[in-house]
């Protein structure tokens, strides 16, 4: 399994607006509609001074499943509409990082 992780730097005070953007455009639900997508989360950094960050993670069965999502229609349009919510810095959209799941535990029951 693969975990994708994308770090976004919103404009000051825009973390919640960025999360709403993901909700309104149904980005997590659209990703889940792709074969091999097992889960999507959009997270905000807990208050930590002036710093703001939104992290988007997803769990994929294979790298090919993730790549199919990246190549899908609508993703570029999402980015264009998201840009006004992002900080005006070069790394406002961090590189997507991919992790291979080595070990995991789940509650029994």
Which domains occur in the chain, in start order? Answer: 2-83 (3.30.70.100)
What's the CA gap between 35 and 109, in Å, rounded? Answer: 26
Q: Is the pLDDT of residue 34 over 80?
A: yes
Q: Is the pLDDT of residue 51 over 90?
A: no
User: Under 8 Å CB-to-CB from 22, ≥6 apart: which residues?
Assistant: 28, 42, 56
pLDDT of residue 28: 96
pLDDT of residue 73: 86
| Cβ 38 vs Cβ 62: under 8 Å | no
């Amino acid at each position: 399994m693969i975990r994708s992780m994308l770090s976004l730097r919103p404009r000051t005070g825009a973390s919640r607006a960025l999360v709403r953007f993901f909700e309104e455009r149904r980005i997590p639900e659209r990703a889940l509609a792709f074969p091999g997508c097992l889960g999507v989360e959009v997270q905000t950094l807990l208050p930590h001074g002036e710093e703001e960050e939104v992290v988007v993670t997803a769990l994929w069965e294979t790298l090919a499943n993730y790549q199919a999502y990246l190549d899908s229609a609508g993703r570029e349009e999402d980015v264009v509409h998201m840009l006004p919510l992002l900080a005006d810095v070069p790394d406002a959209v961090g590189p997507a990082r991919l992790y291979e799941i080595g070990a995991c535990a789940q509650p029994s029951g």
